[in-house]
Amino acid sequence: MAPNTGVSPNDLYEALDELLTFAATALDTIPTFPECDGLVGAPELRYITSGLPSIDCCPAMWVYAGQAAQAATSPARTALDAGHRSGAFQQIRLATLTLMVARCTPSFSTTGGEVEMPSSDQLAAVARQVYADGWALWGEISNAIKTDTLFSRCQEAFLDYGVPLDPSGGCAGWIFSMRVNLGGYPKGD
């Protein structure tokens, strides 16, 4: 039996699970602010998927892995750049973790052949919730990475961006992307 080195093929899945749990906790802070009356916390539906999910239900949250790549090293444009390192140099492996949060949006309805569009109040209520979600996630994830309370077992973590999802298919929300260095297997580093 091989010795336990603290590194496992399950590390990526565990990092995704940690992110999903943390994001739910972050969203649950929203209703605790008095000025957020009427806003809700994390969606109850939460998934770890094996790739980009189809948004077929909302409200919901998903996490999935994206690109795994070598990080560039400094100085740039040398033999140490990603893809140019020989086996003599350490590799910096970064896995991309993606978090997606979606809320339901109002849609048009028909009554007696008449089309009724959502009201501006309905649209504003969804926008308020979606923007609260995005800002809470950005702030909480940023702070947790900075204080080493999220991805603490990772050697490095970077919150790259948060992008609003354009409303479509009855959903709106956010996609957040971050990169983490989970280390690597002891041989070949």
For residues 11 and 180, what is the distance between their CA atoms, to the nearest angstrom?
11
What would the DSSP string read from start to end of the chain? -PPP-S--TTHHHHHHHHHHHHHHHHHTTGGGSGGGTT-----SEEEE-SSSPP--SSSEEEEEEEEEEEPP-SSSSSTTSTT---TTS---EEEEEEEEEEEE----EEETTEEEPPPHHHHHHHHHHHHHHHHHHHHHHHHHHHTT-SSTTSSEEEEEEEEEEEEETTEEEEEEEEEEE----STT-
Q: pTM for the whole thing?
A: 0.82
pLDDT band per the 50, 70, 90 thresholds, residue 77: low
Tokens of residue 140, six digits: 């909480």
Percent of the chain residues past pLDDT 70, beyond the cut: 80
Q: Is the pLDDT score of 30 beyond 80?
A: yes
> Has residue 4 got a pLDDT over 50?
no
Distance from C-alpha of 146 to C-alpha of 122, rounded to nearest angstrom? 36
- How do strand 45-48 and strand 60-70 relate by DSSP bridges? parallel
Q: What per-residue confidence (pLDDT) applies to 86?
A: 53
Q: Does pLDDT of 8 surpass 80?
A: no
Highest averaged pLDDT of the listed ranges 14-23, 59-68, 109-118, 176-185? 14-23
CB 105 within 8 A of CB 96: no
d(CA 52, CA 54): 7
Q: Give the CATH fold of the 15-181 domain.
A: STM4215-like (3.30.2000)
Among 17-31, 68-82, 141-155, which stretch is predicted with the lowest mean pLDDT? 68-82
For all residues of the chain together, what is the average pLDDT? 82
Mean pLDDT of 19-48: 93
> Which is more confidently placed, 168 or 186?
168
| pLDDT confidence band for 168 (50 / 70 / 90) | confident
- Domain ranges for the chain: 15-181
pLDDT in tens, 109-166: 777 778 788 888 888 899 999 999 999 999 999 999 888 888 876 678 889 999 999 8
Residue 187's pLDDT is 55
Give residue 51's pLDDT: 83
